[in-house]
A and B are shown apart, each in its own frame.
Chain A
Amino acid sequence: MNAVDGSSHVPQVGFASELEQELPSLLVLILDTSPLGWGTQSPPISLHEAVASLLIFINSHLALNHSNEAAVIASHTNCIKYLYPVPGEDYSILAPKSTVTSGTESSEEMIPNGQSNGDNGTPNDASMYRQFRVVNESVMKQLELLLSGTSTSDIEHNGKISDTTLISGALSTSLAYINRLVGGVNDNGPKLRARILVVSVCSDLASQYVPIMNCIFAAQKMKVPIDICKIGNNTVFLQQAADTTGGVYMHLEHPRGMIQYLMTAFLPDRALRKHLVLPTQSSIDFRAACFCHKRIVDIGYVCNICLSIYCQPPADGSCAICDTIFDPKELADLLKKPVVVTTTVPKTKTKKKKKKDSDATPNFTPGP
């Protein structure tokens, strides 16, 4: 499928490609903070344990190269939030000498309880590299704010606890951030090489199908690999994201040993990955979400005008997206019974077929 990827045809400028190996890299970490997602992990790992590992991982990333940068975005149930950097904070000014910290207008707008601005960690803490400390403290503090600011009404949706997480929002935001720092798609000499790591605990959200797909193509165009560190159930869309953008998809079987997974599989940057044998996905699920009921389907009906996907032929006989009125005869055929294509395939309704598919064992070697 990468044959039609236009981005791969961009000619490399000689000088830039020569020095490609030595570019510093930017890591954008997207942390899924959905309360339900973390609460239902069967091999238990708490959010705080995971964050501890992730902070060490970020430190290690920063340690690799003097000019490496990092950003952390939380993808929550009802909002997304930058955990680092925080808008309005100036990290270039170190440890405030006096108590005078000027809270800018923005931080009051963004963070409701008007928290003070400087780092209130011990100013004399010289046991940690400053760059590490700034990131770690910011992440911990902002995460604390985020979680304490989450009320039950925020996570409830129609009376039951919502299991959504705004991965598409976090991806869009991180791509915009990368776009600014790296300097556009067409720039020949980027200053940084960026990548995204998503730590995901929730399962798929079919309602985010189109925006996530849009993000994937944008990332592919910008040559930003999306790595997925998956705890809990596999997700179809994030698998596709990793596959399309050339990232690593890894499902943590022992989430307790997260730090080791992070250090071996996700730490190497793009230049180094060329030399490594990285875990590959054994198989990739390319299923899509239908537009009508947000179900994930493997066989769908596609409008031939606008290519929107339906899990069953629309009842009113017209496409919900482009308003095309379908040929009533053809539609009737589809509605009544599936079109018979070969005599060897038994005629079954779509739904039954799906069920059958799921427990059928794959048998893909045709007889000679």
Chain B
Amino acid sequence: MSIPRFRTSINDYLEGLPEPVLIRLYYSPATCLAIFRLLPAMAQLFIMTMLFNDKPLEATDLNGWVQDGSTPKQYEALEKLRGMHLIKESQGTISLQKTFRAGLRNALTGGDHNNSFGIPCNTEDKHKVDIKFLDEHANNQWELILHFMVGTDTGKVPNNGVLSLLRHSGLMEGSAPSNMLITNAGFQFLLQDVNAQIWTLLLQYLNMSEDLQMDAVEVLHFLFMLGSLELGQDYSLVALSPTQKIMLDDLRDYGIVYQRKSSSRRFYPTRLATTLTSDTGALLTASASMDSAISQKERETGFVILETNFKVYAYTDSPLQIAVLNLFVHLKSRFVNMVAGQISRESVRKALSNGITADQIITYLTVHAHPQMRKSIPLLPPTVVDQIRLWQLEMERMKIVEGYLYSDFSSKNEYDVIAGYAHDLGVMAWEKPNKRMFFVTKEGNQQIVDFVRRKVHGGA
């Protein structure tokens, strides 16, 4: 498929950054903390073990510490740490990257004065706003963007900054606000949850900022700082760099921060900002609070009933939600507070050809399932889920995996050892034991090469 895949998570973005940039990032304790939170639990634990231990860790100790069945998790964690350049490995020992170690230590102990966690205003705000107001503000700004994307006529058009971002990111096409149209990528975007949407936009913003000669490190510092701020507190602009002040204007348009007017000396982060760095795992609660903040009407978060006969009933009057449903449901009738429709092969194929995946549809239906549906286990009728997946398979007869083929092993034993290692890593894509050939993914290749090299050296 030719649809450009988003680097949907900040993790992927960070892993793509070169090492010097990352090390510059680690100078800020707030950023260290935020990055730490983005890591998988196992990786967090490894970091914590090494943080206050001056001696480097023996790699073999690590193996003894993890349960036998959980080795893939261990590899995954180490892989992540390597990708972020958080650990240094030499001669079978592992140690933390120095800058990061100092930064995280400072974050935890409050060591030195670095002001990386935002400076609260020390004077009283004459126009103080409460949390409810901030939620509403964030909600309005964000929905304005979404409504604009689905083409709901709300009479308002987002600012130019937003429009150019939408264009730049390929979510919409067209030159003037009046003729902008949503793209396939835009459809995919709509099916994500709010936090993922924000990150998608912010990552696009990061890409754009590089073109505009803004320093990515400063942009990231600011984003991570926002994530550590407190909802309902006003913060001073004093410590912000010029780049960050420019950013503030843009973020205001997305509803991520609130500033009464652009000349104001203070700003308030909204809930969109303060939930930024709660990683996707923690989103369970964070997004629940987000959802309830974003859509007051659907506090229960669910409004869709899906029946085994592929009929869909959605109790909503939000044009946004109806537009989203329309992406993959053939809507038949509409009532004051409810729309009814049918999932059909055509409707799903239409969605698939727009670049929406079956998993996205299923996730959307799961997340927005009516409370009534939550009583049944499994949540969605398996027939429907399977059928949606089958419809997707119809379109994808072939799956392309980039990788490397290993063949011509000298002995069965050699083959078994190396193939076993590839299995442990979870990078095996295909194997044919009787021909002594197997195929590993691109990502895992380096590790296999290292392993083979070690084996050969060790054997020789």
Which of B36, B114, B118, B120 is A63 in contact with, Cβ under 8 Å?
A: B36
Report the interface size for chain B: residues with CB under 8 A from the other chain.
60
Q: By the criterion CB–CB under 8 Å, are A56 and B109 in contact?
A: yes
Interface check B65, CB cutoff 8 A: yes
Contact residues, A110-154 vs B (CB, 8 A): 123-130, 132-133, 136
Of all chain B residues, the one with the shortest Cβ separation from A259 is B52
CB neighbours of A24 from chain B (8 A): 282, 284-285
Q: In the complex, what's the smallest C-beta–C-beta distance from A5 to chain B, in angstroms?
A: 22
Contacting A127 at CB < 8 Å: which of B42, B70, B117, B281? Answer: B117
- The reply to whether the CB of A272 lies closer than 8 angstroms to some CB of chain B is yes
Which chain B residues border A65 with CB–CB below 8 Å? 37, 278-279, 281-282
Are the CB atoms of A66 and B45 closer together than 8 Å? no
- In the complex, are the beta carbons of B228 and A92 less than 8 A apart? no
Interface residues of B in 95-136 (CB under 8 A from A): 106-120, 122-124
Q: In the complex, are the beta carbons of A66 and B378 less than 8 A apart?
A: no
Given the complex, which residues of B lie within 8 Å of A7, measured CB to CB? Answer: none
Whether B228 and A272, one on each chain, are in contact in the complex, defined by CB atoms closer than 8 angstroms, is no
| Complexed CA–CA distance, A14 and B374 (Å) | 10
Contact of A14 with B118 in the complex, beta carbons under 8 Å: no
Complex CA–CA separation, A240 to B373 (angstroms): 43
Judged by a CB distance under 8 angstroms, whether B64 is at the interface is yes
Convert A73-106 into 0s and 1s, putting 1 for each residue whose CB lies closer than 8 angstroms to a CB of B.
0000000000000000000111101100000000
| Chain A residue nearest in CB terms to B30 | A129
A19 contacts the other chain (CB 8 A): yes
Nearest-neighbour CB distance to chain A for B407, whole angstroms, equals 34
Bound-state CA distance A13–B117 (Å) is 40
The answer to whether B45 and A92 have CB atoms under 8 Å apart is no
Q: A126-B116, A128-B110, A267-B48 are in contact. Are A66 and B286 (CB under 8 A)?
A: yes
CA distance A323 to B64 in the complex (A): 55
Q: Is the CB of B67 closer than 8 A to any CB of chain A? A: yes
Most interface-central of A21, A94, A98, A123 (chain B CB within 10 A): A94
Question: Complex formed: what's the CA distance from A259 to B44 in Å?
Answer: 16
Q: Are A60 and B48 in contact (CB under 8 A)?
A: yes
Given A267-B45, A267-B48 in contact, is the A127-B233 Cβ separation under 8 Å?
no
Q: Indicate if the CB atoms of B110 and A132 lie closer than 8 Å.
A: yes
Query: In whole angstroms, what is the CA distance A90 to B230 when docked?
Result: 14
Cα distance, A259 to B108, chains bound together (Å): 12
A263 at the interface (CB under 8 A from B): yes
Taking a contact as CB atoms under 8 Å apart, the answer to whether B110 and A272 are in contact is no
User: How distant is A25 from chain B, measured CB to nearest CB, in Å?
Assistant: 11
Task: Evaluate contact between A124 and B48: CB separation under 8 angstroms.
Answer: no
Q: Find out whether the CB atom of A128 lies under 8 angstroms from the CB atom of B117.
A: yes
Residues in A whose Cβ lies below 8 Å from that of B374: 15
**Chain B: CB-nearest residue to A64:** B44
Q: When the two chains form their complex, are residues A129 and B107 in contact, meaning their CB atoms are under 8 A apart?
A: yes
Known: A66-B277, A67-B278. A97 touches B109 (CB 8 A): no
Contact of B188 with A by CB under 8 A = no
Is A127 a contact partner of B51 (Cβ separation < 8 A)? Answer: no
Among residues of A, the one whose C-beta sits closest to the C-beta of B124 is: A97
Task: Flag if B37 contacts A123 (CB, 8 Å).
Answer: no
Instruction: Determine whether A329 belongs to the interface, using a CB cutoff of 8 Å to chain B.
Output: no
Most chain A CB within 10 A, of B37, B48, B64, B378, is at B48
Interchain nearest-CB distance for A125 vs B (Å): 8
List residues 37-89 of chain B with CB under 8 A from any CB of chain A: 37, 41-42, 44-45, 48-49, 51-53, 64-67, 69-70, 73-74
B33 interfacial by beta-carbon distance below 8 Å? yes
**Cα distance A271–B73 in the bound complex, in angstroms:** 13
Which chain A residues lie closer than 8 Å to B48 at the CB level? 60, 263-264, 267
**How far does the alpha carbon of A24 sit from the alpha carbon of B41 in the complex, in Å?**
11
A127 contacts B114, C-beta separation under 8 Å:
yes
> How far is B275's CA from A231's CA once the two chains are assembled, in angstroms?
39
**CB-CB contacts of A180-191 with B at 8 A, as 1s and 0s?**
000000000001
A59, B109: Cβ atoms closer than 8 Å: yes
Given contacts A63-B107, A66-B277, contact A130 B41 (CB under 8 A): no
| B29 within 8 Å of A (CB atoms) | yes
**Nearest-Cβ distance from residue B271 to partner chain A, whole angstroms:** 12
Contact A63 B37 (CB under 8 A): yes
Are A97 and B282 in contact, with the CB atoms below 8 A? no
B390 at the interface (CB under 8 A from A): no
Check A13–B45 contact: CB distance below 8 A: no
**Docked-complex contact B377 and A63, CB < 8 angstroms:** no
Q: B residues 376-396 with Cβ under 8 Å of A?
A: 377-379
Are A263 and B230 closer than 8 Å at their CB atoms?
A: no
Is B151 in the interface zone, CB < 8 Å from A? no
Q: Are A123 and B120 in contact (CB under 8 A)?
A: yes
Q: Is A22 an interface residue (CB 8 A)?
A: yes
Question: Would you list the 8 A-B pairs with minimal beta carbon distance, nearest first?
Answer: A66-B278, A128-B110, A275-B70, A14-B377, A126-B115, A59-B108, A22-B281, A94-B233
What would 19 A/B residue contacts be, using CB atoms closer than 8 Å?
A: A22-B284, A23-B284, A59-B107, A63-B36, A64-B41, A65-B278, A66-B286, A67-B286, A97-B122, A125-B113, A126-B120, A127-B110, A127-B116, A129-B117, A130-B228, A132-B107, A263-B52, A275-B69, A275-B70
